[in-house]
Structure 1
């Protein structure tokens, strides 16, 4: 079967339907380009989507956004999602179960910087030396513009600025794990500082925590698909792009899939490659101009995230919608945060989601063993609620959830040496770690590069060593 989408002027193929690919598709369609979106899976969303388990629709990982995620919030409004209804908005906080030996830090709804000053004064569970250390760190970080001249690990940063062991245990380490999904001993200080700049160091509204009420597929990808189709675009699910070829007339794509009726081909003026880094590298490996880029994309290290869902009686309610947990992997206490899904969605009463970031040690356990360990941890944290024996449990592990966000990590630009072919993904160059906001920003930057006619880092806009072709087993 042959497609002629690309014969129309301004036709763009977006390969990959995660948040970066969907963001690029929406921006291109908004600016009048004819967009065809290819996604190898049966659902959009990539590593932030809903999946069906035992008749339940659950997210493949629990997310928190910041009020500073302006590009994501603007994009949601553009595709018809109301952030005020889609999120539970909470003030910036780090709150542990009462009596668990943790801390209670909540930023009140006051103008900046008073919200942080008052939060620090009122913080429970911290000694005077802890509060002074936090104040010194925040002041120094602001003074140096939330960036080091030479990147180091987060552990070195905290030691350099005299942070106390208790403050590290209760605040900095769990924040680093949650934001970068990388252990403090190997996480980038500059990326961590960028996150702190837009949370602890931001205006009050920008520092707010936004917890999705909607499942992740409905939060953005499904709305993006509706928007794209309303603009005359096309979404192909279950469509695997096998081949990219370039010629003077543009880009030829070969794809396959039942939804396409078998083999499919189409010509496009430009391509946004929004697949995971390793898959994008595989597609670029055979082009002489991008051999080095392909090697860079294939060299990323990855960290897993596990989410343990536990169902209790529908009337169960935690004291807070989100609680931090004291983790201790050596004693099988893996959870770092627990979310009461019933306080986010009334249809999920009694469902708790426990997040384990940088979950390498936890991923070695059998699912049933890990779920029992998490239930025991919850039972110890909330002894009055009887959480040791859930009615149902399931663990979802994304083994390559994010790239390992290490110091001085080289992240590629959106532009490539190939004309009218750009990259989009949370791994591309930017201030943030692998977050929904960085994916959205990257997708929009990729679209802007094409719209400006500057999608290639080469000035002549043509391949200097002939056309290239690459066969790949799977593109998601």
Structure 2
């Protein structure tokens, strides 16, 4: 069986297929596994192509990490659910108490919110819980927040940044039902599910590298640096043609089944000659970029806590939405800050030096520390197809394509979650179980 794509979905599918008894060959075009959540090298530094936050609710991801030998307690830093701005700004932190008491206490103790803000948030959470965290008819997040009388302060400081972080889509077009699903499994779930998990290792080391080692140890073949440029049906089998040094230049192999675990755009290209209608559906996904601006300061430079939310005002040159102190996650990265810009099309269009300067100035102003305006080194990384625009009513395809032995896996397939690591892993597992109904659960 072939798995085309070595991102989180492809690695998850491959591990599950091997557990189900399949002989698996995994192809990945890049030399580093991880897809759109992987490590990169820049000026001698190991970075990520985008900073990520995981949730305690990511059950499938955490189980699969353990399966391949990664212990989450060591691999991530767990902090309580929070939305904290630089000192003097809003501060909302959920204490480690049983749910939903932890949220009630967090709301009572929140700073920077008026009584009206707190009542509006409590009313919204209670109503969402009562309706099962789902609307009968999807709408945009902006419409949802207006419908339930959320205050301008809450929208600006809580719901909009959460929507951008989770869906990488502005509230004006983002799906309310997908947003509610994220809130259900964080705000509305057990206390530990709402914890925010910050990776201590680069994203490839967090799961894909360990998955590759596990696969090799269990008899699978992993071709990193082998791009599949053609799949074709032939006499009841699937022919997979790959190019790259990992396969000696070119290689064509026959498989009984194929899990296509690439991005929607790459899948559309491979499917164009096989199912034009499905390829057109995948082509309709609008890519959304994420930009990460890395700023290196002196080794002693630290933030008061591992990460903060930032209030972005693009028209004023304030692009950053969250800042992470990487030195508090990995000691070898002391003084390195990562600033995230989700749905970053406008920011990514700026010259990199200009964007980095604007972000550094934003940090200096937000924290009242002029020295932050002058980092020693900067690196801007834009993942142009980091996710898709998770719009209201988006038509997401099932894992089963209708073509015998050909399945889809990826964060864009049908599911409640947006384009997150958990959605990618869930999709990979679902594709494996569709291919092998006897495949065990993670």
Query: Are residue 45 (structure 1) and residue 37 (structure 2) matched?
Result: no
Residue 195 of structure 2 corresponds to 208
What secondary structure, in the 3-state scheme, does the structure 2 residue paired with 1:386 have? helix
Offset, 1:453: 8.4
Matches within 5 A, 1:220-369: 220-287=207-274, 290-369=275-354
Note the aligned Cα RMSD (angstroms): 1.1
What secondary structure, in the 3-state scheme, does the structure 2 residue paired with 1:438 have? helix
Query: Are residue 22 (structure 1) and residue 11 (structure 2) matched?
Result: yes
C-alpha distance after superposition, 1:162-205 (max 9, x if no partner): 00001111100000000000001111100000011011111100
Query: After TM superposition, which residue ranges in structure 1, 4 or more long, deviate above 4 angstroms?
Result: none
Query: What is the rounded CA distance, in whole Å, between the counterparts of 2:391 and 2:231 in structure 1?
Result: 32
Query: What is the rounded CA distance, in whole Å, between the counterparts of 1:249 and 1:141 in structure 2?
Result: 49
> Number of aligned pairs?
439
Query: What is the rounded CA distance, in whole Å, between the counterparts of 2:127 and 2:236 in structure 1?
Result: 55
Matches within 5 A, 1:18-417: 18-99=7-88, 102-287=89-274, 290-384=275-369, 386-417=371-402
Q: Is the 8 A contact 2:11 2:208 kept in 1?
A: yes
Residue 7 of structure 1 corresponds to none
> Which ranges in structure 1 are unaligned for 5 or more consecutive residues?
1-11, 455-476
| Pair 1:244–1:453, CA change in 2 (3 A) | farther
Query: What is the rounded CA distance, in whole Å, between the counterparts of 1:182 and 1:125 in structure 2?
Result: 25
C-alpha distance after superposition, 1:99-158 (max 9, x if no partner): 2xx310000000011001100100011000000000000011011110111111111111
TM-score normalised by length of structure 2: 0.98
Query: What is the rounded CA distance, in whole Å, between the counterparts of 2:424 and 2:166 in structure 1?
Result: 14
Offset, 1:249: 3.9
TM-score normalised by length of structure 1: 0.91
C-alpha distance after superposition, 1:306-344 (max 9, x if no partner): 000000000111011010111100000000000000000
Q: Is the 8 A contact 2:20 2:438 kept in 1?
A: no
